[in-house]
Structure 1
Amino acid sequence: MSPVDSAGEFTRDQRYIGTRITADGRDGFPVEAGRYRLVVARACPWANRAIIVRRLLGLEDALSMGVCGPTHDERSWTFDLDPGGRDPVLGIERLRDAFLARFPDYDKGITVPAIVDVPSGKVVTNDFAQITVDLSLEWAAFHRPGAPQLYPSHLRDEIDEVNEGVFADVNNGVYRAGFAGTQEAYDKAFTRLFARLDQLSERLSGQRYLVGDTITEADVRLFTTLARFDAVYHGHFKCNRAKLTEMPVLWAYARDLFQTPGFGDTIDFVHIKRHYYEVHRDLNPRGIVPAGPDPRGWLTPHGREALGGRPFGDGTPPAPPLPAETVPPSHSAQQVPQ
């Protein structure tokens, strides 16, 4: 993880590769079906966003996906889930190989999600925030019929405003609490986190989704943190004023999204817990992974339909996940992990 600063505050390294894959190819990487591979890890909330957006937009045939295992060492994520420990398309064992292929002296974080140019084997971008927006806007020619508008032009300013607060205080806020180097830094992050969650609860008490009456990019970004809250952040990161299940509005909102095709079917609770509890040995020295919480509560009724709203607007739900991309039932809310 990124280091803490002199005040003990966690500072995320945000020096991402800013190259974009665009419809007009202005950065040298034009949108082309089959040319690129999205590399993710189901454990990672930032990568989970890209998995969800790719599913919602129906880009599976245009943009293949490689899935790293839930743990990694100081070098990078690895393809240990694949036969022989190599990605079957890229032919590499570690994601860092794609980064070094383009930047031999690369000295920043090897992060997911990342998009790799298959012909050259070189990483194009790991700018997670831009990746999902570009999947909505630049890859439109390859969207499925009925794909939702996740970043509609008339709502972008509001979506951006909501996303800014959610990133600072919630998405990154849980990390600022978990990796705080001083009590003061922890207290500050903790206070900001729950103040923002209270604000979001108030906002969502009268509307089904964060912006407008359909699912947008804003909901995707908040959901991936909420999905990990009780399993990881409440205990592991000391974000323990309340569990998600003890925040009625946010818990119902999160269950509503979880039960929406494209959201809950991307969540792998086993990978999530293994990543945080096994990799963060500074916080959990023995690497013991907790058995709970029971995920079946995610499938209980939420009642959010009473607020109206249309999940996909004028569009339709995505098809079920591809067989090769389906989360095992024992890793999901379908049954308690053994």
Structure 2
Amino acid sequence: MNYDDLILNWKLDPDLAAWAEVLPEQIQQGLDPQRYGDLARWQEALASLPPLDVTERMLTESAVGVRGPVDNPAMIAALKQALEGLHPWRKGPFNVFGVEIDTEWRSDWKWDRVLPHLAPLQDKRVLDIGCGSGYHCWRMLGEGAREVIGIDPTPLFVLQFWAIQHYMRQPNISVLPLGVEAIPERIKAFDTVFSMGILYHRRSPFDHLTQLRDCLAPGGQLVLETLVVEGDRDTVFVPPGRYARMGNVWCLPSTAALESWLTKVGFKNARTVDVNQTSIAEQRRTDWMQFHSLEQFLDPNDHSKTVEGHPAPVRAVLLADV
């Protein structure tokens, strides 16, 4: 995991030079072994990836990954063991030399819902907040983005990105071990900003939307994906306890309320482009994510409700401009 080239390039960029000065310390804190006891084990798994020759990089297929000639079954076994050492894999899928990483989320389904509505990503600088393993970052790169930066505070997901990058070896993509709080204020450096699956975890949604606005360069586009409920512009559901067994869900607005919020904080042309109820085919347990998943979070007798009796997860995609 080497960020030296990224930091050097940012130091030469007037929009990102200030962030580059503090980024080394932020990365060090984000990968602090004193805070994350499993970090050494994950790093060992990453270091054990075998040397394999890549002949094709897959950035536009559902399963992101690489292909190449591998005639040695022991090499494939070593590869699979190293990748399994980074369990659980939540966002994907990936395919690495024929090893299919069947992740908890079929993140390609979400991408297929989002992509038709986006402004072209060709030659754009893109930020993906809460990117997990970086699956969508790779898909953004596949759409021709000039630079893709993902941030996620979970070190395991960052190492999963580096496991794929170990073979991809692409210079214009990175996942940083940071939370959204690490982004400098009013940076205004990105052409497109994605915030997918984050808003409902924020105690102050207006602060998050304002921060997203301030990450965007003039003329930029926000892609916001979040949990919603049915209702008018005054409808906001605040779970009284857990929601789908998640304790950190603060509020679920209607799409009309979200459009109103985006306008209030200064976005233009806020619009809802997709609404979709999450199915147990899109989010589920697999061999690569063996913990509880959506099916265990829903009422077993009525999948239209969570186990707490709330409306089952419905996700919307909204776009807005600055």
Shorter-chain TM-score above 0.5: no
Query: Which structure would you say has the larger RCO, counting Cα contacts within 8 Å and 6 or more residues apart?
Result: 1
Higher helix share: 1
Scaled by the length of structure 2, the TM-score of the pair is 0.35
Higher strand share: 2
